[in-house]
Chain A
Amino acid sequence: MQEKVGITTTIPVEVIYAAKMVPVDLNNLFIKDDHPQALVEEAELKGYPRNICTWIKGIYAAVLKNKDINTLIAVTQGDCSNTHALMETLQLAGVRVIPFGYPFDRDYDLLKLQIEKLMAALGVTWQQVDETKKRLDLVRQQVWQLDQLTWQQDRITGWDNHLYQISCSDFNGDPEKFGQAVAACLAKALDRPQINTELRLGYIGVPPIMDDLYDYLEERGARVVYNETQRQFTMPFNTSDLVEQYRLYSYPYGIFYRLLDIKKQIALRQLDGIIHYAQSFCYRQIEDLIIRQQLNLPLLTLEGDKPNKLDARTRMRLDAFLDMLR
């Protein structure tokens, strides 16, 4: 069986596939567990504080539970510093940890060096990595089409847009099989009538910890036609240079670079409003004040803590936001 490698967020996944290993996005592993909240509670019992990001706690317990994950690639720069302690506590539990850092200033040479260190750790060459990129790009192009069908032709639900794009962090461990699932979704979408909703929303920030947000909005006549981070996971850049691809990728870099992308997509996709999601206890909650100053359309800041359903308070705030947009 191929060896599984856990990743804490999107990294140059080409390197893992080139090494004939299987990447596992640990966020997905946690949130797709039958009882994600039980994982969070387990991490708390082990000593993780209550006032710490739920994603970190869920990932920690998910890795302990899934004994077939013995190697972890952890993003030490470009995500949050909680990851450092996550690495250390998993290291203590006997997991091999490989750090990966996105340079804050998007420096090409530093990023190349990081990628080459990862390649050395997994024992692959540039030729293998470039070939793998071509293989993955075929699948990515299908997902780009799915995103286009979302906002240009109104044929994809906000949830499907979220789900298929977010899955591009690890291609569910099997790019070709995942590609077939995307193709099936595309075929079905072209077959059905357009989804007409009164309001078009954008969703920015980290993916939501609750899985009923998109349906809740759609039942109330508002569809998400832009998922910022999820879309970034599909590397929508059309470059053959792998280093440049992960330099254009916006999520690990500063808020101002992300905002360039967000503003462009807002204009393209004709949005009525934006939902900015921030996880409880996350430093990105601070960046909300910058986002509010920089974006010129109605914005709702949503905070999520526990998985994985909207609470009454959040539903009330969503209702009020939609009322306001009408």
Chain B
Amino acid sequence: MDAGIDLGSRNVKIAFLSKTGQLDLHKFDTVAFYRKYGRLENGQLVVNFADLGWGDLTRSVVSTGYGQQTINVQGVKNTKSVSEIKAHVTGAVHLTGLNDFTLLDLGGQDSKVAKIRAARMVDFETNDRCAASTGRYLENMIAVLDITMAELSSHYDQPVELSSTCAIFGETELIGKLVAGHPVAALAAGVNYTIFKRIKPLLLKLASPVIVFTGGVAQNQALKQIISKELNIEVIVPEYPQYVGAIGCAVIANKSK
């Protein structure tokens, strides 16, 4: 088997790809994962695959994630790191079978948009040093509204106007609207719309007739609806949106022989 690891800011995702193309997916909380299986050696993060009980089963591992340059996977002979965008593009192409699309990846702390032509990335944008419009922002907002992520993800009608996507200032603004008496459904829709407003310029700049939406935030059905409706465009969310980077890594590991 070949494995791909995506060391995200909130979750570590691991994907195994068998010879027959079967996927086996695992998810860990990032902080817990590092505490249990990671350690720092000479400034490098070392993850021991043998400790996870997968050392013998695994032929090769490809990893990606924040600061991927410093990750070293031990316990497996063949290991390497690839950039996050490359991992996500490869995963999206593998899962959708599409060659021309715009990739939108909204993760725990960052967002990426890439234009894909003939299965290759030709241009990309990322957010810069700010967690606005990411999963972290949504987590903060549901805490303020005291609702679940599933509930938030069901509202897109009659959004309340919110101006800030800042994960911190957004809270203050939302509390103000809550006090003003807006219904939770409209507030939830407003939160989803702020994410759309933030990524809209990037999606227009790197436009394609189809958007492949990945990352943990892609589980938000309302946001999918909003993007599709506002841009009049087809939005495809692959079956395991949060695992696309890990799956991309596993595909690269599989091909690297």
Chain A interfacial positions (CB closer than 8 Å to B): 298, 303, 305, 311-313, 315-317, 319-321, 323-324
Main secondary structure on B side of the interface with A = mixed
Residue in contact with A317 in the complex, picked from B86, B121, B126, CB distance below 8 Å: B126
Contact check, A303 vs B83: say whether CB atoms are below 8 A apart: no
Closest to B65 in A: A316
Contact check, B67 vs A323: say whether CB atoms are below 8 A apart: no
Residue in contact with B85 in the complex, picked from A298, A303, A320, CB distance below 8 Å: A320
B123 / chain A contacts, CB cutoff of 8 Å: 298, 324
A152–B106 Cα distance when bound, in Å, is 43
A319 / chain B contacts, CB cutoff of 8 Å: 68-69, 83-86
In angstroms, how far is the closest chain B Cβ from the Cβ of A52?
16
B122 / chain A contacts, CB cutoff of 8 Å: 324
Whether B230 is near chain A, meaning CB under 8 Å from some CB there, is no
Residue in contact with B67 in the complex, picked from A303, A315, A320, CB distance below 8 Å: A315
A324 / chain B contacts, CB cutoff of 8 Å: 85, 120-124
A12–B94 Cα distance when bound, in Å, is 58
A303 / chain B contacts, CB cutoff of 8 Å: 128-129
Main secondary structure on A side of the interface with B = helix
Residue in contact with B128 in the complex, picked from A298, A313, A320, CB distance below 8 Å: A313
Whether B169 is near chain A, meaning CB under 8 Å from some CB there, is no
B67 / chain A contacts, CB cutoff of 8 Å: 312, 315-316
Closest to A321 in B: B124
A321–B124 Cα distance when bound, in Å, is 8
Residue in contact with A320 in the complex, picked from B69, B83, B129, CB distance below 8 Å: B83
Query: Binary interface profile of B, 120-138, with partner A (CB < 8 Å = 1, else 0)?
Result: 1111101011000000000
In angstroms, how far is the closest chain B Cβ from the Cβ of A325?
10
B129 / chain A contacts, CB cutoff of 8 Å: 303, 305, 311, 313
A317–B83 Cα distance when bound, in Å, is 8
A295–B123 Cα distance when bound, in Å, is 14
B37 / chain A contacts, CB cutoff of 8 Å: none
Q: How many A-B residue pairs have CB under 8 A?
A: 46
Contacts A316-B66, A324-B122 known; 17 new A-B pairs at CB < 8 A: A303-B129, A311-B129, A313-B110, A313-B128, A313-B129, A315-B67, A316-B68, A316-B83, A319-B84, A320-B84, A320-B85, A320-B121, A320-B124, A323-B83, A323-B85, A323-B121, A324-B85
Closest to B81 in A: A319
In angstroms, how far is the closest chain A Cβ from the Cβ of B121?
5
Closest to B85 in A: A320
A298–B114 Cα distance when bound, in Å, is 13
Query: Binary interface profile of B, 55-87, with partner A (CB < 8 Å = 1, else 0)?
Result: 000000000001111000000000000111110
In angstroms, how far is the closest chain A Cβ from the Cβ of B51?
25
Query: Binary interface profile of B, 226-244, with partner A (CB < 8 Å = 1, else 0)?
Result: 0000000000000000000
A317–B69 Cα distance when bound, in Å, is 12
In angstroms, how far is the closest chain A Cβ from the Cβ of B169?
14
B110 / chain A contacts, CB cutoff of 8 Å: 313
Contact check, B86 vs A316: say whether CB atoms are below 8 A apart: no
Closest to B130 in A: A313
B82 / chain A contacts, CB cutoff of 8 Å: 323
A298–B83 Cα distance when bound, in Å, is 18
Closest to B83 in A: A319
A312–B110 Cα distance when bound, in Å, is 12
A311–B126 Cα distance when bound, in Å, is 14
Closest to A316 in B: B84
Contact check, B69 vs A315: say whether CB atoms are below 8 A apart: yes
Interchain residue pairs with CB less than 8 A apart (7):
A312-B67, A313-B126, A313-B128, A317-B126, A320-B84, A323-B82, A324-B124
A185–B82 Cα distance when bound, in Å, is 35
In angstroms, how far is the closest chain B Cβ from the Cβ of A206?
17
